[in-house]
Structure 1
């Protein structure tokens, strides 16, 4: 400190010192309770102010504002709202296991409604609060000056029962927080008595008395091992579940909640359950009502008759505060320091305090009784020589002279002489002499008892035990919370939560998805499908709300879309972008969908990229529990993209065709099954080329391959005509391009005789049926379609959906089949056109047929 009184210190030191002082203050004197009386300073000051002002249980109620004013003015220099809020909490029977303040008027509700203003409510001490304040006037606890040094206040209350465990506490300070749940008064007293009798007992001995928390809101606490751990070390988690019953009615079922977990806002709980009903997160919830009244709490949930009631309740347990975890964190001030304690340490802290209180009270009572004994002995002696005493007093000049004369002549002490000169004349009767002698005998007995208490710890402990038993008898407190050893299984059967309903689902390339009811679909068959002008339909399928749609994008991602999560729209509506369920990037386009009825299906998803990579993943690997974002299913290079997705059985054949017209056909068994996060392998060797399509076929029934080119051309060939090869081969040409113009392969499909496709282009749309086109050899050029002239195809819509339903077609031997087919083809190479050649008719090419208007 310099002459100018400027303190020069490091800012770090200043901040550390000041914050340290502040932290010490709020830890010791604000936020944490004391282990001895279980009260925070503001609570202690409220009770003391009411006690000192005579606001007792036997007196009339007084305005709360008066009590708050006394507390603020004399003991607690903080805002009135903080004091009133603390006072209100002490009166709430859903917060305090045994309320310490008896309040008249609106003191709030379990719905978190605020209490009426303090000018309206009235309060007085609850009867049990007197047990906390008992013997306060016998110098049992240390008193300290208040904030302005005008009067004294207690630093702790005598507390004739372990209030910290009975009413619990909650608070947050600097670096410390506390959460101590309420426990049953009778159980806590029994455990305390046992600990007094057996100071060396173990936790298990006390745990047989204190089974677990006893919340004022009742409910059910589960998990014996978790409860024991929390009680032992003061930290742990226990499951608190609402008390409920199922009510079966004629046209519905009901769940009736009669008790909810501690410190749960009932109004918020009912609102959350109703939001689940309104948002249709689960089906079958008809109505949620709060029927609570003065007789008790009651929340009624109406359910459809066919809904699984237990499964629905489990969903509410998982997603609302009908079930809640209470976290024990029993921190309190012990020996002026914050300490985390189990029930053994807390009870020991209380017992040590109570021993100190009873010792100080006995000392006070002993001193008082001894002083009175001395006075009574003097009075009795004075009565025995009454005439002489009266004569001496009458001869004295004044009171002081009379006292000195009595002390000198009769050997009275100053205290005895004072009592004699102040004695009233009526006390000199014979009757009063008898009363004095009886009082002296009583004092002798009391002094002996007090000396015995102070001289023997065993007797002292027995006094504490007697007082605790008296309190237990005076304030009976039956247990409200049920303790269960096992934690109930609340697992949810997700499928059982969904009401089965048939519907249609459509997905467009730009990501618009909608669920369409069967009624809307049938009523709108002649109405245009609702979509953006530049968008296109990727899939339209009839499905069920129990199924799942896998939506694949060109960026190698897939979206997991449960059908029941989709919003319902009409056929002509645009629908809603899939981003409301799953966030897609702006550059992602949907290329395919797979409808999954059963993820246990022995099927695989084949994926191919534009650069010729191919990948095979089991359908089960696509099942997820969280689906708020797209998930990677194929790792792609920066300039690559996914172009094709197919379902396979594991023993199918695969055709990969490039835009230049090369097709590689081989067995699916050449492609290993990999995880969903693994990369692909080379499926076809491409040189200055890119993949047009990938298709999967069953070797037992290979059907036909119909290919489309740009400019618009079409060609139908036997799958067996394509020579088989090994994976990563260039493949073989499947059509011949004319020298006059460049033709590129657009797409290809495995089609049965009566399968149809819809082609869309600048010239409109046209349906193409496989049976309308004859088979041609590999060297033939694709034929044109006059309706499209030389235009390009914008896209082709295939109404056949890829479905994973657990059904796998008959397996065929890929190798044997193609050997047989090749031999067969050699003998049956003749086509109807070649037969015409033999009959000397003019040969007709496919080009001629497609150029013929009649055709």
Structure 2
């Protein structure tokens, strides 16, 4: 074979697909997911088996953890020592497992997330209940396979005398699969298994009469029986897990919330830190102090309240905004018949019972074989004693052991096994007492053999053995349920007016998406310096609001961010603030277009949306009050080639004005736009020519017509009164607002309503240059005027955008255009 013929020419996709497929199969079957029969992952099984082989059991002294880790790595699990030690530690942590399989001396971590001590400092041994996991493993109860180097054998699965997967639960992530099975109370799980054995047709509803739901080692309260039932039926479901709390009254009518149990898998120190951050950031009023009083007597977190605080309101806020209450998602995936499967409660119990059938059958066969061999030997010994003189004479007349055996077999028809037993018999066994003992043993063996044969031939007796085993484990190891199960998930109602400290603050939002609230004190001490922001950034919103208010931030893609002012980070005036991307996930190509402050979400105010393609939508303001706002919400349905250009708050009786790039303006009554739902797209506001698009849309009081500032792409600026435009109807072309030029006509780059005649207009060109123009000195022009050239477009490029500069040196009143 030539050198070239040794190499295969294969497509990269095929090679990668094949290799990743093999890797995935290994990860799924041999690392991350538990077996449905014994509830263990391979590393956990190997740890328990290695400790048993080493005699490191519950009735022996503790041994260094490092010794066990070395044995596991050297004999069964050729991976890193940290993966083995971490698995071993987890099996010993009483806040992770319900019935621990490993006992450990020394620092094995804590519920605060502290790491365990190194394995050279800790000691471990099997727990007493691990004996039930490994019981009779030496009796060929389970299949054994060669280890990684074929030097010894290891079990494929443990005998597991109780349903460990449900009792201790499991968590794991592999490629394409993840599992999350909660722990349960041992006695309840065994009762469910017994019910499944006695009545294979029982329903999940029947099983739930004995198995109430998960039982976490950290206690707590589970809410949502329907979620548990769905999980037990399908393998997937969701429940709420909340802390066990109590409101205590102190001297002087002050109250405190005492937390004695927290949800499963919650790190206590992080929970305490988060609650203290809420106190420190003044997200709600009423928390005086948060402290962790946990000691050797048990977990205890105290939230001390101020005298006037509402303890139930504070508690509900903490439930909603911290890990004091969490959602637990069942995802009961386990390896069953060598494949990963999503299993309901019945399937898990059936997999366990089926495994026990095999275990008991294999053990019975092993014991029957052993008993029959012994029965054969006993029969030979009894016969030998009955003709003892001849046997002794035959042995004395033989040359050696082999010859003696042969002579016995030939003279008295003993089998080879019987002859071996006779020649190795000790002389003291020839007493009368021993004859009686042999006869008793023969009777016992006869009974035992009959019993074992009955088990192997009768399904009913086989199941009876399994039931007896389960009953024994329950009687020996049962304990009390720790987690309370409640029928319904309580709706968390929070009265923010009571909870939030009412305080006036300065709120800013920038075009690049930085938001913050600043104390009046920090703002006043700024010496009229500009607020902290990037050089390329500019203010989108600035005003004094109350912490009970809400800021709605609208984006060009038609989404909005719901931001209660009290939840904004309090940042100094000179600092940048928090980027919205750290609060709410937003598309990378989406940008903010408008910020609208709201004090109350009532039904007599509306939000009006204007889009680039001339659509107008009006929706009642109360539709935008959000209960959950951890992500961007839909404000208006926008087509793919469209974008929101402005959002205005209105009372429903104003006029609307739309301005287009080609110089058309249309004014019509707001009443022509009927209110519609939050997610709708709106109606056509203006009829556009091909290639034309809306630059801006504004709202104004028809009794007080404002001026607008118009800037063209050629750098021409004019101030124009809206009285130039007669009120028309929507979906028309509109009136021209520029003088038509045949050569190089003006296109409108921006139009803004003038609310402050002494304000500043900022004009941006295509190369990023920003000009500022004083609105007060701008010349007024009619519809047919093109204005005055104020921006040098030869040097700086064409005008792309305009906006009124926000005067951060004095706090503005609320929007003047709203009555």
State the partner residue of 2:297: 295
Cα distance in 2, alignment partners of residues 511 and 171 from structure 1: 38
State the partner residue of 1:834: none
Cα distance in 2, alignment partners of residues 795 and 411 from structure 1: 115
Cα distance in 1, alignment partners of residues 20 and 478 from structure 2: 46
Kept after mapping to 1: 8 A contact 2:371/2:445: yes
State the partner residue of 1:786: none
Cα distance in 1, alignment partners of residues 127 and 555 from structure 2: 69
Q: Does 1:45 align with 2:46?
A: yes
Cα distance in 2, alignment partners of residues 622 and 455 from structure 1: 71
Kept after mapping to 2: 8 A contact 1:596/1:804: no
Deviation per residue, 1:160-201 (Å, 9 max, x gap): 111111112222223222221111111111111122222333
State the partner residue of 2:10: 10
Deviation per residue, 1:191-214 (Å, 9 max, x gap): 111222223333333232222111
Structure 1 position 648, deviation (Å): 5.3
**For 1:447-596, what aligned pairs fall within 5 Å after superposition?**
447-501=449-503, 544-548=546-550, 564=566, 596=598
State the partner residue of 2:347: 345
Kept after mapping to 2: 8 A contact 1:647/1:802: no
State the partner residue of 1:237: 238
State the partner residue of 1:73: 74
Which residue, out of 396, 401, 404, partners 1:402? 404
TM-score by length of 1: 0.71
State the partner residue of 2:768: none
Cα distance in 2, alignment partners of residues 202 and 558 from structure 1: 46
**For residues 514 and 435 of structure 1, do their structure 2 counterparts lie closer, same or farther at Cα, with a shift above 3 Å needed?**
closer
Kept after mapping to 1: 8 A contact 2:255/2:305: yes
Partner of 2:288, secondary structure, is strand
Q: Which runs of 5+ in 1 are unaligned?
A: 659-663, 683-689, 710-721, 731-745, 750-756, 766-793, 809-855
State the partner residue of 2:256: 254
**For 1:342-421, what aligned pairs fall within 5 Å after superposition?**
342-421=344-423
**For residues 435 and 245 of structure 1, do their structure 2 counterparts lie closer, same or farther at Cα, with a shift above 3 Å needed?**
same
Q: Does 1:273 align with 2:275?
A: yes
Cα distance in 2, alignment partners of residues 589 and 143 from structure 1: 64
**For 1:99-178, what aligned pairs fall within 5 Å after superposition?**
99-178=100-179
Structure 1 position 562, deviation (Å): 5.1
Deviation per residue, 1:393-452 (Å, 9 max, x gap): 222222222222222222222222222221111112222222222222222222221122
Which residue, out of 315, 318, 322, partners 1:316? 318
Partner of 2:91, secondary structure, is helix
Cα distance in 2, alignment partners of residues 115 and 395 from structure 1: 70
Q: Does 1:188 align with 2:198?
A: no
Give aligned pairs, total.
725
Cα distance in 1, alignment partners of residues 579 and 114 from structure 2: 39
Partner of 2:60, secondary structure, is coil
**For 1:676-715, what aligned pairs fall within 5 Å after superposition?**
696=701
Partner of 1:327, secondary structure, is strand
Structure 1 position 219, deviation (Å): 1.4
Cα distance in 1, alignment partners of residues 647 and 197 from structure 2: 79
State the partner residue of 1:328: 330
Kept after mapping to 1: 8 A contact 2:571/2:577: no
**For 1:20-99, what aligned pairs fall within 5 Å after superposition?**
20-99=21-100
Cα distance in 1, alignment partners of residues 592 and 448 from structure 2: 95
Cα distance in 1, alignment partners of residues 630 and 49 from structure 2: 58
**For residues 800 and 24 of structure 1, do their structure 2 counterparts lie closer, same or farther at Cα, with a shift above 3 Å needed?**
closer
State the partner residue of 1:832: none
**For residues 302 and 35 of structure 1, do their structure 2 counterparts lie closer, same or farther at Cα, with a shift above 3 Å needed?**
same
Cα distance in 2, alignment partners of residues 674 and 506 from structure 1: 30
Cα distance in 2, alignment partners of residues 547 and 115 from structure 1: 46
**For residues 44 and 283 of structure 1, do their structure 2 counterparts lie closer, same or farther at Cα, with a shift above 3 Å needed?**
same
Larger mean Cα displacement after TM superposition, 228-237 or 551-560: 551-560
State the partner residue of 1:783: none
Cα distance in 1, alignment partners of residues 187 and 409 from structure 2: 56
Kept after mapping to 1: 8 A contact 2:34/2:40: yes
Kept after mapping to 2: 8 A contact 1:596/1:803: no
Deviation per residue, 1:725-767 (Å, 9 max, x gap): 865899xxxxxxxxxxxxxxx9999xxxxxxx99689xxx9xx
**For residues 171 and 649 of structure 1, do their structure 2 counterparts lie closer, same or farther at Cα, with a shift above 3 Å needed?**
closer
Partner of 1:332, secondary structure, is strand
Deviation per residue, 1:543-566 (Å, 9 max, x gap): 643345789999999998755467
Q: Does 1:437 align with 2:447?
A: no
Q: Which runs of 5+ in 2 are unaligned?
A: 532-536, 660-664, 687-694, 710-722, 736-751, 761-773, 775-804
**For 1:627-666, what aligned pairs fall within 5 Å after superposition?**
650=653
Q: Does 1:205 align with 2:214?
A: no
Kept after mapping to 1: 8 A contact 2:246/2:257: yes
Deviation per residue, 1:495-549 (Å, 9 max, x gap): 333122357889999999997878999x99xx986668xx999999886433457
TM-score by length of 2: 0.73
Kept after mapping to 2: 8 A contact 1:548/1:563: yes
Structure 1 position 98, deviation (Å): 0.7
**For residues 172 and 695 of structure 1, do their structure 2 counterparts lie closer, same or farther at Cα, with a shift above 3 Å needed?**
closer
**For residues 632 and 190 of structure 1, do their structure 2 counterparts lie closer, same or farther at Cα, with a shift above 3 Å needed?**
closer
**For residues 558 and 323 of structure 1, do their structure 2 counterparts lie closer, same or farther at Cα, with a shift above 3 Å needed?**
closer
Partner of 1:99, secondary structure, is coil
Deviation per residue, 1:211-253 (Å, 9 max, x gap): 2111111111121111111111212222222221222333643
Deviation per residue, 1:317-376 (Å, 9 max, x gap): 233222222222222222222222112111111112211111121121112112222222
Structure 1 position 615, deviation (Å): 9.8
Kept after mapping to 1: 8 A contact 2:616/2:673: no
What RMSD, in angstroms, separates the aligned Cα atoms of the two structures? 5.4
Cα distance in 1, alignment partners of residues 806 and 434 from structure 2: 121
Deviation per residue, 1:245-289 (Å, 9 max, x gap): 222333643222222222222222222222333333333333222
Cα distance in 2, alignment partners of residues 350 and 489 from structure 1: 38
**For residues 415 and 487 of structure 1, do their structure 2 counterparts lie closer, same or farther at Cα, with a shift above 3 Å needed?**
same
**For residues 511 and 94 of structure 1, do their structure 2 counterparts lie closer, same or farther at Cα, with a shift above 3 Å needed?**
closer
Cα distance in 1, alignment partners of residues 556 and 443 from structure 2: 104
Cα distance in 1, alignment partners of residues 156 and 189 from structure 2: 24
**For residues 39 and 518 of structure 1, do their structure 2 counterparts lie closer, same or farther at Cα, with a shift above 3 Å needed?**
closer
Kept after mapping to 2: 8 A contact 1:223/1:239: yes
Cα distance in 1, alignment partners of residues 279 and 541 from structure 2: 31
**For residues 222 and 3 of structure 1, do their structure 2 counterparts lie closer, same or farther at Cα, with a shift above 3 Å needed?**
same
Kept after mapping to 2: 8 A contact 1:513/1:575: no
State the partner residue of 1:852: none
Cα distance in 2, alignment partners of residues 165 and 613 from structure 1: 57
Cα distance in 2, alignment partners of residues 447 and 556 from structure 1: 80
Kept after mapping to 2: 8 A contact 1:597/1:804: no
Partner of 1:20, secondary structure, is helix
Structure 1 position 467, deviation (Å): 1.2
**For residues 798 and 646 of structure 1, do their structure 2 counterparts lie closer, same or farther at Cα, with a shift above 3 Å needed?**
farther
**For residues 648 and 290 of structure 1, do their structure 2 counterparts lie closer, same or farther at Cα, with a shift above 3 Å needed?**
same
Cα distance in 2, alignment partners of residues 80 and 283 from structure 1: 49
Partner of 1:91, secondary structure, is coil
**For residues 41 and 430 of structure 1, do their structure 2 counterparts lie closer, same or farther at Cα, with a shift above 3 Å needed?**
same
Cα distance in 1, alignment partners of residues 579 and 602 from structure 2: 28
